[in-house]
Every structure is written in structure tokens, then in C-alpha cells.
Structure 1
Amino acid sequence: MNRAPTRGFEEDVGARTTHHLMYPESAVNLDNDTNLVLIPYKTQDLQWLISAFTTGTIKHKLRFEANCEAVYKKANQRLHCLRKLSSFHIDRKMLTMFYRCFIESVISFCLVSWFSNLPLKNKNSLNQIVRWASRLIGEPHLNLETLYTRQLQRLVGYIKDGSHPLHGEFQPLPPGRRFKMPAGNTKSTYQPVMSRIKANREKVQIFSPTFMKYTKDNWMDKHGRYPSTGFFSLLFALHICDEVSVFGYGADKHGNWHHYFEDNVGNGFRKTGVHGGEHEYNMMVRLNATNKIRMFS
């Protein structure tokens, strides 16, 4: 995670999948086989992810043209496969299934985040993919405007469902037609970040904000402003791995961390009081005591 190296610290266990968790301030270049997992602490982190693979400059107008072009290219490539299947006279239901799984899922992913700010030219290019697919299949399919509206309507369900993790995140402003903007600073970062990053863009993943909220609400017991990257990484591993071993985890009561790759024992670590370091460490000790994880110093 973050700027921690893996080369020289790993042990060959046969087939493996490597996930590297980071946020913009801790970004490093990765090899082609490693999954980049972005932890979006703020809205600007998502803007950075797009810019780091495209222009290298964060555009605060949030028009998302570069993202649209990338989505269009990917969908157009998969449209070629749909043409081939159609030429083989595949059943219409199978063609529809392929379209929804491999094309519609691509052009509608996180649609509510970027579609409304697209210029008309970009919207038309994406809808052209839908029209071409509809002709190949032989029946009409939902355009992007309809898919976008459907995703927005899910907000109503979140607001009414008190048990939903995102229920408390939507607070209406008087007279109830708009929602309150979440508090946060997206104008600057606490240190310079890489404008571009080398990594496999096909292996980019985004840490779910819902899972981040779950971690804070259910594991932190109101300690710290938000969990550390290390603790997020630990819970991420617990949810996807059969066995979890951790190395170099440890913090004092101020949240000052020691890392396995740094020779900084006893010389005043960087203060990270925004995290509940002592509480996180105690939680890891409890997990170790119950054999949920194995801790190594």
C-alpha cells in the first residue's frame, strides 16, 4: 500500500494477485500485473485518477470528455464482438445478454458521476453505440438518458431506507429540491502528487465509499477522523483472502506509524493524529488473538 515496496519482501507462493492500495498523495508507479486500488478520501481523488491516465491535469470544470472517449473506445471494441455474434445468427436473447453484460455495463458504469456534465457531442457518440447495438440485436435498448435517470431514482430508495449505508449521506436543503453538499476540501493536497502514473489501466479499482463508511462506523468506535490506509487495507484483505498475514503494522497513541521498509524506529515518526492509531493497533491485536490474522513485527 501507499509507497511501500513489494519487490524483495514477497515470498513465492505460486499463483498470486497483487493489489496496491493508494491515494494520490501516496501514489507510485506499478508494474503491469498489479491491481491499482484507489482509496478516494475526497472528490478530487477521483478527478486525479482520470487525469493521471490521460492529460495529467485535473480539470475543475468536470466535463469528463477524456473519460467519455475512453468509454466509447472500449464499448466500440466490444461492439465488434456483437457484430460477429449477430453474423452467426445467434438467438436474440443471447445477443441481448451479451450487450447488457459487456457493452451496456461499460457505458453506464458510474453514469451519475459524469453523464450530466458531458457536452452534447459526447452524449451523442455514446448513444450511437446503443443505436448500433439495437440494430444488430433487432430490438430497441435504453438510451443513456434513460439509464442515467434510473440511476438517479435510486437515491429515493436510499433516502427512504434507513438501514442503507448511504441513508445519512443525503441531507435535503429547504425547500427539499436539492441536497446539501458534503463538507470537504478539494482545492489542495497536503503534499505534491504525481501528475501521471504508470500502471495497467485495465486493472484499476476504486475502494467503495460505502465500505469506507462501514469501516469507520463499525470498527473505529469514533476514534480518529477516518481510518488509515493500513486499516482499510487490512479489512480489504479480510474480505477477499482466506488467510491474512500483516507485516510492519504498528502505531503509538498519536497514530505515528512504523513501516517494515523504513529504518525509523525510535526517531519520531510523522504525526498522523487524524487516524485512531492506538485503537487500530488494538483491533489488530484482538484479530491476531482470535486467529483471524497473523501479525509479524
Structure 2
Amino acid sequence: MYRCRTCAVVGNSGNLLGSHYGGAYIDNHDFVFRMNKAPVQGYEKDVGSRTTHRIMYPESATHLDNNTHLVLLPFKISFQGYEKDVGSRTTHRIMYPESATHLDNNTHLVLLPFKISCGSPVMVMHPAFMHYVHNAWLHIKSRRSYPSTGFLVLIFAMHICDEVNVFGFGANSKGTWHHYFEKTPKSFKRTGKHSGGIECETVLELHKRRLMDLYTGW
């Protein structure tokens, strides 16, 4: 992946609804990153229509079109140490993306994108980068907590793009946290195994320092 001049990191927050960020705000960037299977159809006015890269878990990477670069996050692959018993070693495992969960780290993982349209290039984010974000940016000590997909993509974008603009992060104007594509929005404040509070503070600090621009709706 080459370095880009401008990129839009588009999260899934409900603050996108009514924002009119589509078109000139989002679609005009060189790269447009989206997380998981967040839809654009029917929401183009607020979220844009272009997607250059879609980042998601391997098990979710099925039945996608071939208009974007697919970047897989091997979150659920274990990297706790190498198997010392040489007799049980496997050098390569070849499998479908949706099966690539709960694996050890003594093999090279080769993903078969058979259920992805043939024209879709597939990349895998290196676990070392994920470890770097975990330790250097969030200072997370617990192994049970890990960066959210959105935060990983934001830091990734800052490493490859000259200008980073962030959309669809945080709560809406009423302080509610929900996804823009939910028909019946369910407010959530817990972030599961993600350090949501630390991530939010870090994003706001990056915006304050003008290292990226955060758009939070109108």
C-alpha cells in the first residue's frame, strides 16, 4: 500500500446521520477507510458512496464486492509464544477467512478468499502493528483488552496518509452512542474489551494537536 495524500476514516457512529458529510467531505479523499460491513447504500448523503479500503475480522469477510481493498485484522489469533514440541509443528495453514479464529502463532496463515469476489485484493494487518498500537498509543496492560477496529484504522491512517480526517466517531449531539445504520438504535456506552475511554481521550488530543481533524456532525 502506497502513502496517500488525504484519507477519510469513516466510523459507524450515529452522529453521521444528518451530517451531509457524503460527497465533497468524504468521497473526495484519496483513501476512504470503512470498518466491518457498515453500509453506504441509502446513507450516501451522510456517509459518502466511495470505499477504497474495508477493515474487518477475517470471519466477517464473506460475500463482499470487488470494489475495495480488504484489510483483515487477525484479532482472534493467539500470539502467546511458539510451540516447543517440534513434532507438532505446522508451517502453513490454509483456510477460509471465516475459519481463521483461535489459532496459535507457530504457522504462516494463508487465507483463501474464495467467498470474496475475485477482483478484491486482500491484505492482513501485521500483528506487530496491532501490538504497537496496544502498547505505545493506549498503554493497555491487560491482554484481555485490545484496540477497537476504528482506533487501529485511525492510527494506521496516520502512518500512511499526509492528511487524516475522521468521521463517525463518538456520540451524537444528544450524547447517545449508536450505529448510524441501526433501524432501532440501541444506545451503548460500554465498549466490551476495548478501552473506549482511553481511545476517546487520545482521539480528542490528536485533534487538539491538529495531527488529524475530527468531524462530529452538525
Structure 1 or 2: more strand by fraction: 2
TM-score under structure 2 length normalisation: 0.57
SS of corresponding position for 1:36: strand
Q: Tell me the equivalent position of 2:164.
A: 244
Runs (5+) with no aligned partner, structure 1? 63-110, 116-194
1:233 paired to 2:153: yes
Deviation of 1:272 (Å): 2.9
Whether 1:283 aligns to 2:195 is no
Show CA shifts across 1:182-234 (max 9, x none).
Answer: xxxxxxxxxxxxx9732446610000000000000101122761101111111
Aligned pairs, number: 157
Alignment equivalent of 1:31, drawn from 37, 50, 65: 65
Q: For 1:274, give the aligned amino acid.
A: K
Q: Which residue of 2 aligns with 1:210?
A: 128
1:186 aligns to what? none
For 2:177 and 2:118, the matched residues in 1 are separated by 29
Query: Is residue 38–residue 205 contact of structure 1 (8 Å, CA) maintained in 2?
Result: yes
Alignment of 1:136-285 (within 5 A): 197-200=115-118, 203-222=121-140, 225-250=145-170, 258-262=178-182, 267-269=186-188, 271-285=190-204
Report Cα offsets for 1:137-173 as digits up to 9, x if no partner.
Answer: xxxxxxxxxxxxxxxxxxxxxxxxxxxxxxxxxxxxx
Distance across 1 between alignment mates of 2:123 and 2:203:
25
Counterpart of 2:158, as a letter, is L
Partner SS state of residue 54, structure 2: strand
* Matching residue's letter, 2:65: D
Q: Does structure 1 retain, via aligned residues, the 8 Å contact 2:65–2:120?
A: no
SS in 1 for 2:214: strand
Match of 2:211 in 1: 292
After the TM superposition, which segments of 4 or more aligned residues of structure 1 sit over 4 Å from their partners? none
CA offset digits 1:239-285 (Å, max 9, x no partner): 1212111111116xxxx9533434666x4327432100011011000
Of the three residues 33, 46, 50, the one matched with 2:95 is 50
Higher share in helix: 1
- Residue equivalent to 1:5: 39
Counterpart of 1:249 in structure 2: which amino acid? F
Unaligned runs of 5+ in 2: 1-34, 79-91
- Take 2:99 and 2:212, find their aligned partners in 1: how far apart are those partners? 41
* Equivalent position to 2:108, from 90, 113, 119: 113
Letter in 1 for 2:48: E
**Larger Rg over CA atoms:** 1
User: Closer, same or farther in 2 for the Cα pair 1:283/1:212, shift >3 Å?
Assistant: same
* Code of the aligned partner of 1:23: Y
Question: Structure 1 vs Structure 2: percent identity of aligned residues?
Answer: 40
**Alpha-carbon separation, structure 1, partners of 2:93 and 2:187:** 31
What secondary structure is seen at the aligned counterpart in 2 of 1:214? Answer: helix
The alignment partner of 1:244 has SS state of strand
| Residue in 2 that maps onto 1:176 | none
Maintained 8 Å contact 2:167/2:214: yes
Give the Cα–Cα distance (whole angstroms) in 1 for the partners of residues 189 and 93 of structure 2: 25
Asked whether the 8 Å contact 2:67–2:120 carries over to 1, the reply is no
CA RMSD, aligned part only?
Answer: 4.0
Deviations 1:32-71 (A, max 9, x none): 1311100001238xx998324xxx877x9x9xxxxxxxxx
Q: Deviations over 1:94-126 (max 9, x none)?
A: xxxxxxxxxxxxxxxxx96279xxxxxxxxxxx
Question: Which amino acid counterpart does residue 121 of structure 2 have in structure 1?
Answer: K
CA contact (8 A) 1:248 1:258 kept: no
Q: Secondary structure at the match of 2:163?
A: coil
